[in-house]
């Protein structure tokens, strides 16, 4: 019998005592102001039980974790046609790299690097006003979390908008290749705002339930799509750190530069962790460590 209460509390206590907490992302100035001394974790099981520790009720910027939700919406809307515009291979490069776009005809490697996520957002934008699309993204996130209070932090969105030159470069480059269909500024503006969605660990763990699959999955999307999103989270969810995350944790996860990670234990649990200090690949340092300890202590893995 797994004692999740004891496991989660012990992880919380161990992480609170850690000295090297990594570096907070400061290329988005608003994120650079977050106190690195914070750590929170929440586990929601398929049976609906909840376990939490630390700053599990403190809201944080979900950043790239939002790419999971937009991918779910885009797959529902476009189905297989989405894969003509974005690939399903790990990139082995930083999340914001432009390198492969040049040699690969403007088609991003996967939907979780920035270029790929811009394509996904562009595909749901498809002629709508950014405000309508953001409303749709928020509706999906609120429904999956079962919480209508989830919102976008406009200061964080404005902060990224003011410093998002690299994302705009990616978008313009893809526009010139015909990969994007909307004006790059509209796609980028929508993307900056989806990244600025705030949630706490409890809300994020609840929002991830639909990826557990089976009855716990609330039937928000089909089982086939759940399988594909989890596969992409495993292979691409941590960018050039995806191999290491799979090796250490052995479960599909998606990270964001706000320091959040959503982890899916298929059929069993949805887990969210947050600690703002990042490792050199831009993934939460303590968050990754905490997920590794959780996987070891519970035996949860997709590999044995
Ligand atoms: N909004 C961030 C960016 O585009 C998201 C990156 C991330 O979380 N890895 O740079």
8-state DSSP, 37: T
Q: Please, what is the end-to-end C-alpha distance for the chain in angstroms?
A: 18
State percent of the chain over pLDDT 70.
99
pLDDT, residue 215, reads 72
Pocket flag, ligand 1, residue 167 (CB < 6 Å):
yes
Distance CA 290, CA 15 (A): 7
pLDDT, residue 217, reads 61
Pocket flag, ligand 1, residue 195 (CB < 6 Å):
yes
Side-chain half-sphere CA neighbours of 203 within 13 A: 23
167-188: average pLDDT? 97
Give residue-wise pLDDT tens across range 73-90: 999 999 999 999 999 999
**For residue 282, pLDDT beyond 90:** yes
Query: Is 31 part of any domain?
Result: no
Say how many domains are in the chain.
Answer: 2
Query: Is 97 part of any domain?
Result: yes
> Is 126 strand, coil or helix?
coil
Pairing of strands 50-54, 40-45: antiparallel
Range of the domain at 163: 64-197
Distance CA 255, CA 295 (A): 16
Residue 180 sits in the same domain as residue 70? yes
Distance CA 253, CA 222 (A): 19
Contact 212, 263 (CB under 8 A): no
CA-based nearest residue to 260, from 14, 10, 31, 70: 31
Tell me the residue length of the chain: 304
Residue 130 sits in the same domain as residue 12? no
Pocket flag, ligand 1, residue 282 (CB < 6 Å):
yes
Residue 160 sits in the same domain as residue 132? yes
Atom number in ligand 1 closest to CA 257: 8
Pocket flag, ligand 1, residue 30 (CB < 6 Å):
no
8-state DSSP, 251: S
CA-based nearest residue to 262, from 69, 119, 13: 69
Query: Is 20 part of any domain?
Result: yes
Residue 269 sits in the same domain as residue 144? no
Residue 48 sits in the same domain as residue 72? no
Q: In what order do the strands lie in the sheet with 40-45?
A: 50-54, 40-45, 269-274, 260-265, 253-255
- Ligand 1 center to 76 CA (angstroms): 23
Query: Is 94 part of any domain?
Result: yes
Residue 129 sits in the same domain as residue 184? yes
92-104: average pLDDT? 95
**For residue 208, pLDDT beyond 90:** yes
Pairing of strands 60-61, 277-278: unpaired
Average pLDDT, the chain: 96
pLDDT, residue 214, reads 78
The closest residue, in CA terms, to atom 10 on ligand 1 is: 96
The closest residue, in CA terms, to atom 3 on ligand 1 is: 114
51 is known as an active-site residue: no
pTM for the model stands at 0.98
Atom number in ligand 1 closest to CA 256: 8
Assign residue 274 the CATH number of its domain.
Answer: 3.40.710.10
Helices 114-125 and 66-78, axial angle in degrees (round to 10): 50
Atom number in ligand 1 closest to CA 160: 1
165-173: long-range pairs with CB below 8 Å, 24+: 166/96, 166/98, 166/114, 167/96, 167/114, 167/118, 167/191, 167/192, 169/98, 170/96, 170/98, 170/101, 170/114, 170/115, 170/118, 171/118, 173/98, 173/101, 173/102, 173/106
Give residue-wise pLDDT tens across range 227-260: 999 999 999 999 999 999 999 999 999 999 999 9
Pocket flag, ligand 1, residue 114 (CB < 6 Å):
yes
């Amino acid at each position: 019998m797994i004692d999740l209460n004891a496991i989660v509390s012990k992880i919380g206590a161990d992480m609170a005592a850690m000295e090297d907490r990594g570096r907070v992302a400061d290329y988005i100035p608003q994120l650079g102001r977050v106190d690195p001394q914070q750590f929170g974790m929440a586990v929601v099981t398929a049976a609906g039980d909840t376990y939490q520790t630390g700053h599990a009720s403190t809201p944080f910027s979900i950043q790239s974790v939002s790419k999971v939700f937009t991918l779910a919406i885009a797959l529902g809307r476009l189905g297989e046609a989405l894969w003509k515009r974005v690939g399903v291979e790990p990139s082995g490069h930083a999340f914001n790299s432009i390198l492969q776009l040049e040699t690969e005809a403007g088609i991003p490697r996967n939907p979780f690097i920035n270029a790929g996520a811009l394509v996904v957002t562009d595909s749901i934008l498809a002629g709508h006003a950014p405000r309508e699309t953001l409303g749709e993204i928020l509706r999906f996130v609120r429904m999956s979390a079962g919480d209508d209070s989830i919102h976008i932090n406009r200061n964080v969105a404005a902060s990224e908008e003011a410093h998002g030159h690299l994302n705009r470069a990616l978008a313009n480059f893809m526009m010139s290749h015909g990969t994007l269909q909307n004006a790059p500024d509209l796609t980028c503006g929508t993307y900056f705002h989806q990244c600025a969605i705030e949630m706490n660990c409890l809300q994020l763990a609840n929002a991830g339930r639909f990826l557990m699959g089976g009855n716990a999955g609330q039937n928000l999307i089909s089982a086939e799509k759940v399988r594909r999103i989890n596969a992409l989270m495993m292979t691409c969810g941590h960018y050039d750190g995806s191999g290491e995350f799979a090796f250490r944790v052995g479960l599909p996860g998606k990270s964001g530069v706000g320091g959040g990670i959503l982890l899916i234990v298929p059929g069993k649990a949805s887990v969210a962790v947050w600690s703002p200090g990042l490792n050199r690949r831009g993934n939460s340092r303590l968050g990754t460590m905490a997920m590794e300890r959780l996987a070891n202590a519970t035996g949860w893995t997709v590999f044995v």
